[in-house]
């Protein structure tokens, strides 16, 4: 077993389900989009556990000639199983996107859902546009461009991003809607009202670890009091 298979991902370390933030949750929408665009092949950059990959493989199986590729430097165990079962139906490239996109076969549609930071995404877009024939770009589908990351950078492997392009790192940071940086106060109420499942789930898991109640009236009142103060 490789070190990537043994090492739990960020969500597993936080006790979250691997499905919580997968684009597989939006597969009905994505598949409709691929159909409407007449796509014949999809390349998924950042495939993790292969939840979306599984959906894409099912989409591809419905019509002869459709192709699916996935790029991920640290594919998780489930994705490796998906790839083994798919055989030639899935091209899995185990490399960072900036290494792979310069030479791999591009696709009609490309899902960009790998390392969510300015350096990596702008490099991915540059490589794709350099290699795309003529004036036409592939159909580009970008995940995680809004809350909770928005204009923040995150790094799967900070050391692989040149220091000049890396923002200061924060660990175990809290985020709150409406705050472009890091949140210092408890914003559980806001997270409940106005958040993605990801932030809420991360917050809940944090409270569980501290043995604190998740949804007590007292807690919500305190959040309101803090907000008014
Ligand atoms: C948000 S997950 C992808 C989720 C998946 N697309 C889905 O919807 O189920 C991000 C994945 O990107 C991978 N990743 C990190 N850095 C990457 C890079 N430079 N190139 C490609 N993938 C990368 C991580 O290993 C992780 O598996």
For the chain, the domains span 3-142, 170-229
Quick one: average pLDDT of 113-142? Answer: 90
Range 146-172 average pLDDT: 85
- Whether the CB-CB separation of 44 and 69 falls below 8 Å is answered with yes
What's the confidence (pLDDT) of residue 185?
58
CATH topology of domain 3-142: Rossmann fold (3.40.50)
List, in order, residues 6 or more apart from 219 with CB less than 8 Å away. Answer: 188, 212, 213
Could you tell me if 127 and 102 are in contact, meaning their C-beta atoms sit under 8 angstroms apart? yes
According to the model, what pLDDT value does residue 201 have?
A: 52
Q: For a pocket test of ligand 1, which of 116, 154, 156 has the largest count of ligand atoms closer than 8 A to its C-beta?
A: 156
- Pocket test of ligand 1: the residue of 14, 18, 48, 53 to mutate, having most ligand atoms within 8 Å of its CB, is 48
Burial of 40 per CB tally in 10 Å (0-12, 13-18, 19+): middle
Whether pLDDT at 182 is above 90:
no
Is 45 close to ligand 1, i.e. is its CB under 6 Å away?
Answer: yes
Ligand 1 lined by 124 (C-beta under 6 Å)? no
Cβ(11) – ligand 1 distance below 6 Å: no
What is the best residue among 8, 72, 144 to mutate for testing ligand 1's pocket, by most ligand atoms within 8 Å of CB? 72
The reported pLDDT for the residue numbered 229 is 55
Give the pLDDT score at 175. Answer: 75
75-79, 153-157, 187-191: segment of lowest average pLDDT: 187-191
Average pLDDT over all residues of the chain: 80
Check whether 2 has a pLDDT greater than 50.
Answer: no
Q: What is the per-residue pLDDT for 223?
A: 45
The residue whose C-alpha atom lies closest to atom 14 belonging to ligand 1 is 114
What is the spatial distance between Cα 201 and Cα 184, in angstroms, rounded to a whole number? Answer: 18
Ligand 1 touching residue 113 (CB < 6 A): yes
- The percent of the chain in helix, strand and coil, each rounded to the nearest 5, is 45, 10, 45
To test the pocket of ligand 1, the residue of 46, 50, 54, 91 to mutate (highest count of ligand atoms within 8 Å of its CB) is 46
Is pLDDT at 5 greater than 60 in this prediction? no
Question: What share of the chain has pLDDT > 70, as a percent?
Answer: 70
| More confident: 13 or 33 | 33
pLDDT at 13: 43
Contacts with 90 (C-beta within 8 Å, 6 or more apart), sequence order: 53, 57, 68, 69, 70, 82, 83
How many CB atoms sit inside 10 A of residue 39's CB? 19
> Is the minimum distance from the CB of 24 to ligand 1 under 6 angstroms?
yes
- Nearest protein Cα to ligand 1, atom 7: 22
pLDDT confidence band for 195 (50 / 70 / 90):
very low
Nearest CA to ligand 1 atom 25: 74
Task: Decide: 64 and 89 in contact? Cβ < 8 Å.
Answer: no
First and final CA of the chain: distance in angstroms? 53
CA dist., res. 104 & res. 214, Å (int): 47
- Residue-level pLDDT at 163: 92
User: Smallest Cα–Cα separation from 206: which of 171, 157, 156, 180?
Assistant: 171
Which has more confidence, 3 or 175?
Answer: 175
In the reported structure, the alpha carbon of residue 221 is separated from the centroid of ligand 1 by a whole-number distance in angstroms of 38
Residue 133: both structure tokens together: 């024939």
What is the distance between the alpha carbons of residues 23 and 55, in angstroms, rounded to a whole number?
A: 10
β-partners of residue 68 are 42, 90
Strand partners for 142: 112
Query: Within a 13 Å sphere around the CA of 79, how many CA atoms are in the beta-carbon half?
Result: 29
* Ramachandran region, residue 174 (left: φ > 0; alpha: ψ -120 to 50; beta: rest): beta
- Ligand 1: centre distance to CA 38 (Å): 25
Average pLDDT over residues 5-29: 65
Provide DSSP, 9-22: -HHHHTT--TTTT-
């Amino acid at each position: 077993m490789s070190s990537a298979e043994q090492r739990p991902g960020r969500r597993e370390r936080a006790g979250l389900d691997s499905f919580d933030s997968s684009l597989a949750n939006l597969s009905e929408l994505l598949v409709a989009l691929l159909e409407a665009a007449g796509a014949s092949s999809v390349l998924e950059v950042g495939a993790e556990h292969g939840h979306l990959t599984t959906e894409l493989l099912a989409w591809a199986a419905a019509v002869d000639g459709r192709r699916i590729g996935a790029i991920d430097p640290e594919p998780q165990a489930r994705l490796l199983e998906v790839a083994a079962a798919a055989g030639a139906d899935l091209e899995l490239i185990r490399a960072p996107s900036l290494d792979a996109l310069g030479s791999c076969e591009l696709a009609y549609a490309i899902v960009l859902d790998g390392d969510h930071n300015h350096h990596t995404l702008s490099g991915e877009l540059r490589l794709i546009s350099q290699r795309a024939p003529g004036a036409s770009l592939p159909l580009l589908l970008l995940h995680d461009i809004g809350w909770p990351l928005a204009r923040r950078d995150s790094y799967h492997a900070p050391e692989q991003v040149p220091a000049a392009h890396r923002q200061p790192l924060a660990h175990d940071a809290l985020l709150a809607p409406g705050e472009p940086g890091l949140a210092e106060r408890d914003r559980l109420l806001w997270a409940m009202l106005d958040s993605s499942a990801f932030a809420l789930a991360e917050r809940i898991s944090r409270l569980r670890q501290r043995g604190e109640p998740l949804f007590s009236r007292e807690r919500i009142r305190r959040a309101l009091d803090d907000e008014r103060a």
